Amino acid sequence: MGILSWIIVGLIAGFLAGQVMRGGSYGLIGDIIIGVLGGVIGGWIAFYFFQIGDPMSGINFQSILIAFVGAILLILILRMIGGRGRYRRN
């Protein structure tokens, strides 16, 4: 998958994950980064645990879904580490 495809899939997945996870997004660049890293995480999980060969194969529903799941996991991890979330203390 080319770099442009990774960016497009990352933008879509990062935006969707930001909408589902409430609490605002990370901005355009942040959403792209979250989505692309989510694609890497989701692709690794899909390949090693579910034996899906070439899980990130272009701009299609499967790639977006895998990147979306990975982006949600990444946002959860970032919120646990950074304390950014619903129950944050001031």
Q: Each residue of 22-67: pLDDT tens digit?
A: 765 677 777 778 888 888 888 788 888 887 776 667 778 888 888 8
Distant-in-sequence, close-in-space partners of 56: CB < 8 Å, separation ≥ 6:
1, 6, 9, 39, 42, 43, 63, 66, 67
Residue 90, pLDDT > 80, answer no
pLDDT (tens digit per residue) in 67-77: 888 888 888 88
Q: How far is CA 56 from the centre of its chain?
A: 12
Distance CA 26, CA 14 (A): 9
Residue 87, pLDDT > 60, answer no
* Widest pairwise Cα distance in the chain: 45
pTM for this model (two decimals): 0.76
